[in-house]
Structures are given as C-alpha cells and as structure tokens.
Amino acid sequence: MADLAGSDTVLFAVAEPHIALVTINRPEARNAVNGAVATGLEAAVEQVEADPDIWAAVLTGAGPHAFCAGADLKEVSAGRSAALATERGGFGGFVRARRSKLWIAAAQGHALAGGLELLLSCDLAVVAETATFGLPEVKRSLVAGAGGVFRLPRAVPKAIALQMIATGEPITAARAEQFGLVNLVVPAADVVGTALGLARKVCANAPIAVRESLTIARQAADLDEAALWELSRAAGQRIRQTEDFQEGPRAFVEKRLPHWVGR
C-alpha cells in the first residue's frame, strides 16, 4: 500500500484490476479524522480521479472497532478543527469532493458522527453485522454539518432520520439495511472482501457508462425532470462517441464478454 498523508495515516492500494482500496489507518483513535486523514483522503480522491485505469474505489477503516468515529475531538479541543477539512474536499477531505467514479464504504465497525457522514458521501455501503450508525453531535452541542443533517433524511425515511438527528442515538446494522441506508450486511471479517466483490461487479460494466449514469443519478433528488432529461440526452451523445459504445453491441453479437477500454 502507498501512503498518501505523509505518514501511514491513509493507505492507498490497487487491490484488484480497476479497484482502489483506501484505508483510514488510525485504529488506536477509532479512525477519527485529524488533519493527516483529511489531507490523505483528499489525495486518495484525486489519485482515483486522475487514474484512467481505476474505475471504482473502496473506503474502509483499519481495525475491528470503527469505520470512523468522526472528528478527532482532541484536535477540536486543541483549536485545530480547521485542519479536519480541506478546501476542495470539505470534512475529511472527502464529503464535498467531486468524484465521478463509484465509491463503496466498507464499514467493519461503527460509523458515527463524521464517520457516518463519510459513509453517506459514498455511493454504496457494505457493513458489519455488529456495526452501528449515528449522528451523536447534539449530545456535544454540535451540528452534523458535514452533510449528515441533510444527507441522512435523503437516505432513510424522514421520521427515522429526524429521530436519529434529534436524539443522537445510533441504529443497528440490521435497521440500517431495513431502511436502505446500507446495501449489504455481512460478518465483520467479510466486509472488505464483499465490498471488493461489489466493486468487481461494477467494473464488469463499461466504465464511462457507469460514470455518466452516476453523474445523473446523484442529482436525481436535486433537479427537476427537464434538467435530468437534458443531462441524460447529453450523456447519451457523449457515450456514442466512445470506443466502448461500439464494443458493447459487438460483444453481444459475438457471444463473448466485452473488453472495455474506458474511452
């Protein structure tokens, strides 16, 4: 694994062809976000975006206990809270980062506060049976300002989101799956492997078509249908100019798997 934070705080590896594995590596602090994590995650996003051979990424945390416990409160209490965000990526260098490729959260442990906000920033989530998910900020006179207070109500039924936000109490993995917050719940030891398997299924598809489709789908709740129709039309035009657009039908006719080149 390569280091992206100037230490060993965020690790980057190409785990399989076309799939990056990004690990927050602070298990002793339950993978809480400090300045090095924010810088490292921003660098990871930029590396994924810049590499045409990477089509999907998995984000996880080191150790068995936590995906991410949110902001490192020791840093906050020491007056270094500004370092927990970057200009382009926002909190953790991630929650506001522009990403065209698919990201899967692999939460082998709890995702709380900013940790849940990182998970909500991903497109898909594979989580451990024992993991919990919550926004406890109000218990410390804080607001889940890294997207949690508006992304959670978009991800789960409104009443459930409001209860989680106002009480600060977490929900279990089973409840998270029931409400559609996560995609798959598996034993903790299988979380990363399952997430990589899900990424593998994504990467079996034409990468430009996946990216164009995600760009539209991510805006479905924010734009009216007229704007979404226009985005779809423009995406279709761009796709038709690619080599992969020719390869898909050709592979079908020739009864073979397609060979995508991503251009």
**Alpha helices (runs of H) in the chain, residue ranges in sequence order:** 35-50, 73-77, 114-121, 148-155, 158-167, 173-178, 191-203, 207-217, 225-240, 243-253
Strands 2-3 and 10-16: antiparallel
Please name the residues in contact with 139: beta carbons below 8 A apart, sequence gap of 6 or more: 168
Catalytic residue selected from 42, 75, 137, 212: 137
Question: Are 115 and 69 within 8 A, CB to CB?
Answer: yes
Tokens 């399952």 belong to 194
- Closest CA relative to residue 71, chosen from 175, 158, 163, 144: 144
Options 117, 212, 230, 247, the catalytic residue: 117
Strand partners, 184: 126
Q: Let me know if 137 is a catalytic residue.
A: yes
HEC letters along 86-142: ECCCEECCCCCCCCCCEEEEEECCEEECHHHHHHHHCCEEEEECCCEEECHHHHHCC
Distance CA 26, CA 56 (A): 23
Name the residues annotated as catalytic.
117, 137
